[in-house]
Chain A
């Protein structure tokens, strides 16, 4: 523990889901809108680009229909086509209010039990069928032995987004979803593992009433596990109370039974720390992140976002803007030579190849090109990292994340804490207390 999961970003990174090692990732998480939009492409990815033993889960993104429709619209004000397809697939419970009445879901839409049953069935069938069918139809299918199609590791029940101000209003609809699932005839679903999805705002962390309600629901439903997504939860800047709230929520859910799986869909090093080998019974069983982003993610907007290339500094367990990395490394003299850089910053294959014996080549992690874009009625020039820079930053990041999971699985808690304390000691005098603030918070949240 924890297992290393990764969320699928775009097809641009598809060559890197076997990096740094073929078996690095236990599984991949796909978003339903991507599955809906490009099933053939994802089928090719599953059949040809990743380790065939990789597992996958599809996030059905049912929270998307709760929000202001502007969050699922395109620039013309229409529902994005990938989301529109999901409306048709998921059925009248979501289709009627959104297409028919032009409004988001509200709790009353769950009053019709038949509609709820249809919704639950459709959401589960979408997950079990969409990529299965796409793989069978793909040209690579002829190379498969027998029925060697890669099916989802688990199916996620439809879920709603909960925040402190409205969670009590969405309780009954979510309970109805679970009740429908319990009574569901699962014949034909071809997958036997079912997970819940707990998608919440951070202000519910530490809310005991909510936590107990979730735990009871999970027990009563008989699901084998859950995925967790805390809205826009950046572990590098979260308060101690929220960090402790996350830790306690995870403990409570894992307390359901020894085999209950819990995967953080968007987690960073704190999630890995609380799930280390010594914490295997109380931490996450898996932590997922995106390819060089996605250690935290906002519930809205739904999908999208352009990741910015940054340099992942292992000591701080944080992605740094290139200019910050240069500033810090210059301050410490780590750019004086390649040897010093590799000893003090990073010795990974990507950094070795990029520097090629000359620390001046660290500039490769920050090369950008100018593009003119329309903004606010005028044209502005923006700097974007080149594709070479993006790949360097990505490969370095994935390598370092692999090391973090390895450390968590092999080192004791004392060793992991000592490493962070040593980093604080080394950095804070030279670059300030703020730069190591995240490490201080984590130590307090874990030890307190």
Chain B
């Protein structure tokens, strides 16, 4: 259960906020990139590093499941939520998997927890992912 203050923000607004934030910091950013039967909300690329970000208003457990699929392709995996204070259960789960957490509140971005480098990338799947990525039109 998430205990912090919840904001009634549509998910796409969070995605937009993050998108703009990352673009300003010179990341190449794409939305809805297909990955093994699902879509990644946001993919950010800088130099050789690939970041996958799942954005969720609530139901972080579902987001964690979605993040697990990205382990085959992403160097760093993040969950982004409109929370000011995430629950200890969420934080512990992120610690277990090595995922990061970005908080988006009132249009402001806070890096709550940095992701650990994901060592489970499978290169052939990463290659497929990068090919798919290049077919997604940059917004």
Contact A367 B128 (CB under 8 A): yes
Residues of A near B127 (CB, < 8 A) are: 363
Contact A321 B72 (CB under 8 A): no
Within 77-123 of B, Cβ neighbours of A (below 8 Å) are at 120, 122-123
Within 314-366 of A, Cβ neighbours of B (below 8 Å) are at 321-323, 326-327, 330-331, 335, 359-363, 366
- With A326-B122, A330-B120, A335-B122 as known contacts, state yes or no: A383 contacts B34, CB within 8 Å: yes
Interface hit among B17-25, B36-44, B54-62? B36-44
Asked if B10 is at the interface (CB within 8 A of a chain A CB), the reply is: no
Contact B72 A323 (CB under 8 A): yes
C-alpha gap A367/B38 in the complex (Å)? 12
Contact A326 B36 (CB under 8 A): yes
Most buried by B among A323, A359, A361: A323
Residues of A near B32 (CB, < 8 A) are: 381
Query: Shortest CB–CB separation between residue A309 and chain B, in angstroms?
Result: 9
Residues of A near B123 (CB, < 8 A) are: 360
Q: Which of A322, A330, A331, A361 contacts B37 (CB 8 A)?
A: A322
Query: Shortest CB–CB separation between residue B54 and chain A, in angstroms?
Result: 14
Contact A330 B72 (CB under 8 A): yes
C-alpha gap A370/B34 in the complex (Å)? 8
Residues of A near B38 (CB, < 8 A) are: 323, 383
Within 37-74 of B, Cβ neighbours of A (below 8 Å) are at 37-39, 68-69, 71-72
C-alpha gap A235/B36 in the complex (Å)? 26
Within 362-396 of A, Cβ neighbours of B (below 8 Å) are at 362-363, 366-368, 370, 381, 383
Interface residues on B, range: 10 to 19
Most buried by A among B37, B120, B125, B127: B37
Interface residues on A, range: 20 to 34
Residues of B near A383 (CB, < 8 A) are: 34, 37-39
Contact B72 A368 (CB under 8 A): no
Query: Shortest CB–CB separation between residue A83 and chain B, in angstroms?
Result: 32
C-alpha gap A331/B97 in the complex (Å)? 13
C-alpha gap A323/B40 in the complex (Å)? 13
* Residue ID in chain A nearest B121 by CB atoms: A330
C-alpha gap A363/B130 in the complex (Å)? 13
Residues of B near A326 (CB, < 8 A) are: 36, 72, 122, 125
Residues of A near B39 (CB, < 8 A) are: 381, 383
Residues of A near B122 (CB, < 8 A) are: 326, 330, 335
Query: Shortest CB–CB separation between residue A144 and chain B, in angstroms?
Result: 45
* Residue ID in chain B nearest A322 by CB atoms: B36
C-alpha gap A307/B60 in the complex (Å)? 28
C-alpha gap A367/B127 in the complex (Å)? 12
Query: Shortest CB–CB separation between residue B49 and chain A, in angstroms?
Result: 20
* Residue ID in chain A nearest B135 by CB atoms: A370
Contact B125 A327 (CB under 8 A): no
- With A326-B72, A327-B72, A381-B39 as known contacts, state yes or no: A368 contacts B120, CB within 8 Å: no
| Pairs A–B under 8 Å by Cβ, sample size 27 | A321-B36, A323-B35, A323-B68, A323-B69, A323-B72, A326-B72, A327-B69, A327-B120, A330-B71, A330-B122, A335-B124, A359-B124, A360-B123, A360-B124, A361-B124, A363-B124, A363-B128, A366-B36, A366-B37, A367-B128, A368-B34, A368-B36, A370-B135, A381-B32, A381-B34, A381-B39, A383-B37
Please list the 4 inter-chain residue pairs (A to B) with the smallest Cβ-Cβ separation, ordered nearest first.
A360-B124, A323-B36, A323-B69, A363-B124
Q: Which residues in B have some Cβ–Cβ distance to A below 8 Å?
A: 32, 34-39, 68-69, 71-72, 120, 122-125, 127-128, 135
